[in-house]
Chain A
């Protein structure tokens, strides 16, 4: 592991310095998890819905190229222009090219984690294009010059007082005003002005229907529609895995998505786009960026089933207590931890270890991704590829030797207990990470094995 890259443990160590904040973060996300529980328990068919969704996605991944070509043909027939991007760089250049062809210098963008993954905003800024994020949460982190910390709730790490301060600095609201309703209204006015003046809009894609060549964007604020309807050019960025075969399958996914995300029965706006309005241009950029590599990794391919609901983050006890930024990746939390090493195994070698493997993520996942099993498998791959520290390798070898050799284990265990009893300072010190917040167990005078040999021998 490259030690000058800050890893999840070091970043969460910092996050945990402010315990009140950790408590607040944990409780906020747990509250959403509880809303999710309430919503899903109202549907007796919940588990079969998950199974259906999972199977639809399995089918999609097995015939991905067919569906993509079908989608391209149908969308083209509808008058939409399709572009293919092999990676983030190509995606960003296509966006820039389209904007330049229209001499557009300003763009409004609704939420798209793919553009975060591609670092589109930075790229466009370097090329003199001003982007305004129209999702309220995204706008807030944009003003704070931070990446989103959650895929559905981008500014969940910020308290309302901090948002008030940001608005005061950037949008001229009175200092000290943190009234959510007032702040929302301010943002609404500010964004309305943006929508009316931007000539270009970019949206993400939640679902692209192969059979009809249309796509669906889900937002709770209607901001995707506002941007796209008023702009002369609408660009939609989608990962290759966003395909579903037919329109009827939308019913399954739309029922799962928001219940899992926030506990709502359905997203406030599920906007269907199937052709440009007269005089408008509509473009879709279909992006690979490592997805076909993941598709080829059999153990990890079904991570591509993800519909980005964020439920795995809300339920993850580690995410709740470490914050999204500690994952140092556009997609944080459990799903981010299995997607990131695919993109760069060395840089993200820490993420599969940022889990207790409790399995809660796999249970909430509406498309039944075996997230915690994949975390376990990534650990094996990462170690095999040499991204473990020398110290860890050495200690693992020693442990393996001790535990594979009963005589060494018995002597070692006895010695260990002796040390704990007679020289606790040897282990109870600041170099022992266990001891920082926890006491060591009280060593018993004999092990069970020793007791058994004395008392039960010859049975």
Chain B
């Protein structure tokens, strides 16, 4: 099985440790992972701002980089959702469709494809888990509080394999953090307030770390934590699952 590693632009630039942890975790689990160097971005920043028509270059590049892999894995629910829903190529619609169905968010790849039941990880800390909306509601990584249906959580089941970890409860289990891509600057006031409230829920329950499947939400919350002078850190879920 050859897996292409897709590291979204902002993770590449600002959070290389999350990317390294993703790579190492997959390698540890015996996966043959390759990182095509000429990759950039999934195109979501344009598309969610109403400029989907300008995302063609990103689509083309993505297809060029990843079309021949058996699977593509990325440490970001949001980017994966964008590819799943919007990757297209007018000249080659089948290639795009086939590729987009092979793109997986990291934790769903671990649970659904690799069917991981054991991880040699240790993380003896109190952790708040942030359900990122795009991963959760878009990719259905875990059950949503609005629906009447049995609960489950792919990232949650993986975190439960980590030795010593204590997941703190939250008052609002799946409220949005307010990042929302360009929403965070276009609607600065509401976005920042949502972030503050989200972080407060974790702090109230004495989390030492906040984790999640989307570095973008974590970046947003980190900005708020740092502004408050809080000692609480954010960590991508890959960094915890890869922890020893």
The residues of A with any CB-CB pair to B shorter than 8 Å are 8-9, 12-13, 15-16, 19, 22, 26, 30, 37, 40-41, 43-44, 46-47, 315, 317-318, 321-322, 352-360, 362-364, 376, 379-380, 382-384, 388, 392, 396-397, 399-406, 409, 413, 416-417, 433-434, 436-441, 443-444, 446-449, 451-453, 456, 459
B50 nearest CB across to chain A (Å): 3
What class of interface size applies to chain B in its complex with A? 35 or more
Interface residues of B in 7-29 (CB under 8 A from A): 7, 9, 11-17, 19-20, 23
Q: Which of B52-73 contact A (CB under 8 A)?
A: 52-58, 60-61
Contact A433 B61 (CB under 8 A): no
- Whether the Cβ atoms of A404 and B222 lie closer than 8 Å is no
Establish whether residues A321 and B193, one from each chain, have CB atoms under 8 Å apart when the complex forms: yes
Chain A, Cβ-Cβ closest to B55? A400
Q: Does B48 contact A (CB under 8 A)?
A: yes
CB of B223 within 8 A of CB of A26, answer no
Residues from chain B with a CB closer than 8 A to the CB of A383 are 49-51, 53
Return chain B residues, CB-CB under 8 Å to A362. 137
Binding site for A on B (CB under 8 A): 7, 9, 11-17, 19-20, 23, 34-35, 37-41, 43, 45-58, 60-61, 133-134, 137-138, 144-149, 172, 174-176, 178-181, 183-197, 219-220, 222-224, 226-227
User: CB-CB < 8 A to A452: which residues of B?
Assistant: 23, 35, 37
Nearest Cβ distance between residue A414 and chain B, in whole angstroms?
Answer: 8
Taking CB atoms, residues of chain B closer than 8 Å to A447 are 12-13, 16
Chain A: minimal CB distance from B198 (Å)? 9
Q: By the criterion CB–CB under 8 Å, are B133 and A382 in contact?
A: no
Q: How many A-B contacts if CB must be within 8 Å?
A: 214
With CB as the reference atom, state the residue of chain B lying closest to A452: B35
Main secondary structure of the interface of B (DSSP, over half): helix
Q: Is the CB of A434 within 8 A of B148?
A: no
Q: Once bound together, how far apart are the Cα atoms of A46 and B149, in whole Å? A: 9
A433 B188 Cβ-Cβ under 8 A: yes
Query: In the complex, what distance in Å separates the CA atom of A198 from the CA atom of B134?
Result: 52
Is there an interface contact between B176 and A358, defined as CB atoms closer than 8 Å? yes
* 7 smallest beta-carbon distances between A and B, as pairs: A404-B57, A356-B180, A438-B223, A383-B50, A379-B50, A437-B192, A363-B146
Of A30, A417, A438, A446, which is within 8 A of B192 by CB?
Answer: A438
Contact A404 B188 (CB under 8 A): no
Docked complex Cα distance between A16 and B191 (Å): 11
| Cβ A449 vs Cβ B224 within 8 A | no
A-B contact pairs, 27 of them (CB 8 A): A8-B187, A9-B188, A15-B189, A22-B193, A317-B176, A321-B193, A356-B176, A358-B180, A360-B146, A362-B137, A396-B51, A401-B57, A403-B58, A405-B57, A406-B38, A406-B61, A433-B185, A433-B188, A441-B14, A444-B15, A447-B16, A448-B19, A448-B20, A449-B37, A451-B16, A452-B23, A456-B23
Please name the residue on chain A nearest to B222 by beta carbon: A441
For A439, what are the chain B residues with a Cβ–Cβ distance below 8 Å?
222-223, 226-227
Q: How far is the CA of A179 from the CA of B223 in the complex (A)?
A: 42
- Is the Cβ of B133 less than 8 Å from the Cβ of A359? yes
Contact of B52 among A354, A380, A443 (CB under 8 A): A380
**Which residue on B lies nearest to A378, using beta carbons?**
B50
Residues of chain A lying within 8 A (CB to CB) of residue B145: 37
A379 contacts which of B38, B49, B184 (Cβ < 8 Å)?
A: B49
A444 touches B16 (CB 8 A): yes
Report how far A363 CA is from B137 CA in the complex, Å.
Answer: 8
> Chain B contacts of A354 at CB under 8 A?
187, 190
Task: Evaluate contact between A438 and B227: CB separation under 8 angstroms.
Answer: yes
Give Cα distance in the complex from A227 to B202, angstroms: 50
Is the CB–CB distance between A356 and B178 below 8 Å? yes
If the complex has contacts A409-B9, A448-B19, are A443 and B14 also in contact, measured as CB distance less than 8 A? yes
Name, among B14, B57, B145, the residue most crowded by chain A CB atoms within 10 Å (CB to CB).
B14
* Given contact pairs A360-B176, A400-B57, A404-B61, A321 touches B13 in the complex (Cβ within 8 A): no
Tell me how far the C-beta of B170 lies from the nearest C-beta in chain A, rounded to whole angstroms.
13
Minimum C-beta distance from A418 to chain B (A): 11
Q: Are B16 and A448 in contact (CB under 8 A)?
A: yes
Bound state CA distance, A352 and B186, in angstroms?
12
In whole angstroms, how far apart are the Cα atoms of A433 and B188 in the complex? 6
CB contacts (< 8 Å) of A40 on chain B: these are 148
Which of A41, A354, A359, A451 has the most chain B CB atoms inside 10 A of its CB? Answer: A359
Q: Establish whether residues A363 and B144, one from each chain, have CB atoms under 8 Å apart when the complex forms.
A: yes
A382 to B53, CA, bound (A): 12
**Cα of A413 to Cα of B41 in the assembled complex, Å:** 12
Closest to A402 in B: B40
Q: Chain B: which residue is nearest A372 at the CB level? A: B137
